[in-house]
Amino acid sequence: MHSLVLAHVSDPHASVGGPLYGTVNGVDRLDLVAGSLAAMGVRPDAIIVAGDLVQSGHTEAYSDVAAALTRLEASTGAPALVVPGNHDHPLAFLTLPQSASVNRRIVHIGQTRFALLDSSSGSLGTAQLRWLAQQLSEPAAGGTVLVLHHPPVPSPLPSLAGRELSDADELAAVIAATDVRLILAGHFHHSLSAQLAGIPVSVSPALSYQQDPTAAAEQVCGVDLPAYSLIRLDERGHSVVSIPLHSSEILFTSHSRNVTAVSTLT
């Protein structure tokens, strides 16, 4: 198969009436993804948006989100593949041109099949799992990537206990012995690499806020560290790197060919 590069973003939580928490402008952060990709010289084959496009109750923000996604598609030349999250309004979400007016569908990018799923209720449900099984009954030349909001694996953080997909066992049974190569999700507001029945799961860090992993077990603490994932998928497997949207202090700069080990720069 031809290698694919995916920009995997999640949880912009766009709002109306001012920035969320006084700081977070989800639409601006979608625009920052476009700028970030351009600065790196990366032209992805698809933009994966794994749910919670708007903050709960802020349905008027969908028009601005649609415009931002259209700008992102224009700047990268790649389609935006969107799925709903638990904050998304089930009907207003369907007004996004990028949703194609459906909450689940199949999209092919090259030889790879993407199954875009609706876990906005916290589960996939019997009917959707039956639909997925039917779609997977015939393999795709480049395999299949599942995209949903709720990760089908638990977070190791105590504050997120029980926040994973509630029918993950049923999903595992459906995708066993199929061509599913990778599962992409959001929701946790922290990056995560895991496996479901031997299939890799990659959770993107959020555009809105990150969970502070050092917070007390009974607390959910959000910090302003927006980021997304850049994924390469080819016949050998996949690789994932987290890309921050806020700049950090630069310790050194050198041409990549001259860097053999960090110790040589000290």
List, in order, residues 6 or more apart from 102 with CB less than 8 Å away.
94
Q: Which range of residues forms the domain containing residue 229?
A: 4-265
Compute and round to an integer the Cα radius of gyration of the chain. Answer: 18
Cα–Cα distances in angstroms (integers) from residue 41 to residues 34, 75, 102, 137, 227, in the given order? 11, 11, 32, 38, 17
Looking at residue 259, its pLDDT comes to: 47
> In the chain, how many domains are there?
1
What's the whole-number mean pLDDT along residues 98-116? 96
Is the pLDDT at 53 greater than 90, yes or no?
yes
What's the whole-number mean pLDDT along residues 153-158? 94
Percent above pLDDT 90 for the chain: 85
List, in order, residues 6 or more apart from 203 with CB less than 8 Å away.
10, 151, 184, 185, 186, 187, 188, 190, 191, 192, 193, 194
Looking at residue 220, its pLDDT comes to: 83
What's the whole-number mean pLDDT along residues 24-31? 96
Looking at residue 216, its pLDDT comes to: 84
**Which residues partner with 169 through β-bridges?**
none
Is the pLDDT at 176 greater than 90, yes or no?
yes
Q: Look over the chain and give the mean of its residue pLDDT values, rounded to a whole number.
A: 93
What's the whole-number mean pLDDT along residues 235-258? 77
pLDDT (tens digit per residue) in 211-237: 998 888 888 889 999 999 999 999 999
CATH number for position 121: 3.60.21.10
Is the pLDDT at 140 greater than 60, yes or no?
yes
Is the pLDDT at 50 greater than 90, yes or no?
yes
Question: Per mean pLDDT, which range of 140-144, 156-160, 166-170, 195-199 is the poorest?
Answer: 156-160
Is the pLDDT at 261 greater than 80, yes or no?
no
Determine which helix (DSSP H) or strand (DSSP E) holds 38, and give its type and residue range. helix 26-40
Q: The sheet that has 199-203: what strands, in order across it? A: 105-109, 112-116, 144-147, 180-185, 199-203, 192-196
Looking at residue 123, its pLDDT comes to: 98
Is the pLDDT at 249 greater than 80, yes or no?
no
Tokens standing for residue 164: 């994973």
Local confidence band at 150 (pLDDT 50, 70, 90 cut-offs)? very high
Looking at residue 2, its pLDDT comes to: 79
Question: Per mean pLDDT, which range of 38-52, 80-94, 153-167, 216-230 is the poorest?
Answer: 216-230
pLDDT (tens digit per residue) in 179-221: 999 999 999 999 999 999 999 999 999 999 999 988 888 888 8
Local confidence band at 257 (pLDDT 50, 70, 90 cut-offs)? low
Is the pLDDT at 248 greater than 80, yes or no?
no
Is the pLDDT at 29 greater than 90, yes or no?
yes
